[in-house]
Chains A and B, each alone.
Chain A
């Protein structure tokens, strides 16, 4: 995966969460599945998406929440 694809991937993940904020709780697993489809043309793997989520949560752009199951959200 190129640095450019990686940046696009991270952007797409944050946008997905932002678009559905307060409407749908995305499990990290759902995000992986969505991104695999969205980026199927640029051979992004499951592990790429997982490490993108890791970077986004480490840097605080996304946070985890819990309501019966774990989900991703935007910081308040």
Chain B
């Protein structure tokens, strides 16, 4: 199939030495008429600085309220190939590990029943098959299910939980992010496939403060690895690093809490002041390692700037003993999440994320409702904000419930 449209603006995006989505789309267009029209419509959008997609509608597979993101062209006469151009979200395995055979099967589906374009992976984590006609949705769904895959989340539902590669590949992992992510995904299938929330809800699990899933800014609930004991120091290796670089300049002076000191006697860390930011460990991974008492900090409330402005998650549970809760099928975590969803269900309004609800009703009311005591760790910048107002409406001896928090 020759080139159907002149696309001078898109052609600009093929220049340079990096992979180009335009080059990939052109390759797909060799065999897919849909993608040929896609190039035409995108060029027109670039020229007019205006999108030509309509969203939503009654698009889905039987029984599920999510997993399919409906997209229609508003220029269907001009670009009939993209009249219906839906996205199918496939729940990725924890940590994005695949057998090549599974990938081939998914790719075959995309070439046979869709535009041949994929998104590995969407910002939700899912694999996305792009450019699917309404009539092909059931077929694709049944085929995916036949080799063990399922749809992910979309709409007012739990979105596909995602995690970093964690303990499978990364020595920084403080808990098994892949295991809890998989368990939670299985436990909340209904919440993911049958939208019943006010709006979307996302979990992202990162094994350490490097936060490879960017959960602090993108997940309604961010679960980020941390440790309770001391950073493990190999003083011999510290000396080796010191021969190659200026430790003061690149390590100790960059410590955000200024809790490190390097002298002739070696490296000292005042661990009680360490915020587990990972900086020093990232710079000297052979000399420093996280402590052995690993777990996670649970934070709540981040979101991108859609309805109101952007937000970062705030600390809710400073230390969650993940390994301990794993022995019990993460029951504490599931109950804890249940209380938060109940509060959101009761008091939230349509299209209000949990973080916005907390901002509206006040953190005090929220904590009281879910049965958590206010803690200093919940203050976002304790060192920069000395004016912390305490009220004594919370009973001093109220316990933390049955949580395995340390």
Contacts and interface: CB of A to CB of B under 8 A. Distances in A.
Interface stretch (B178-186, B189-197, B220-228, B308-316): B189-197
Contacts of A28: 65, 194-196
A69 B60 contact: no
A54 B55 CA distance: 25
A53 B70 CA distance: 22
A29 B196 contact: yes
A69 B194 contact: no
A52 B276 CA distance: 47
A29 B345 CA distance: 8
A74 B70 CA distance: 17
B348 to A, nearest CB: 9
A64 B64 contact: yes
B194 A66 contact: no
Given A69-B350, A69-B351, A64 B65 contact: yes
B155 A58 contact: no
A32 B198 CA distance: 12
A75 B60 CA distance: 11
Given A29-B197, A29-B198, A58-B62, A66 B56 contact: yes
A70 B62 contact: no
A60 B60 CA distance: 11
Contacts of A1: none
B157 A70 contact: yes
A62 B57 CA distance: 14
Interface band, chain A: 20 to 34
Contacts of A29: 156, 196-198, 345
Residue of A29, A60, A66, A73 with most chain B CB atoms under a 10 A cut-off: A66
Interface band, chain B: 20 to 34
Nearest to A64: B65
B199 A64 contact: no
A68 B56 contact: yes
A63 B155 contact: no
B384 interface: no
B35 interface: no
Contact of B62 (A60, A66, A68): A60
A57 B56 contact: no
Interface string B38-64: 000000000000000001111110111
Interface in A27-76: 27-29, 32, 50, 53-54, 57-58, 60, 63-70, 73, 76
Contacts of A57: 62-65, 194
B66 interface: yes
A8 B361 CA distance: 37
Interface in B229-252: none
Contact of A70 (B55, B65, B190, B345): B65
Given A29-B345, A69-B350, A63 B56 contact: no
Contact of A65 (B58, B62, B198, B199): B58
A58 B56 contact: no
Contacts of A60: 62-63
Interface of A: 27-29, 32, 50, 53-54, 57-58, 60, 63-70, 73, 76
Interface of B: 55-60, 62-66, 70, 154-157, 190, 194-199, 345, 350-351
19 contacts: A28-B65, A28-B194, A29-B156, A29-B196, A29-B197, A53-B194, A57-B65, A58-B62, A63-B58, A64-B58, A64-B65, A64-B195, A66-B55, A67-B55, A69-B156, A69-B198, A70-B66, A70-B195, A73-B58
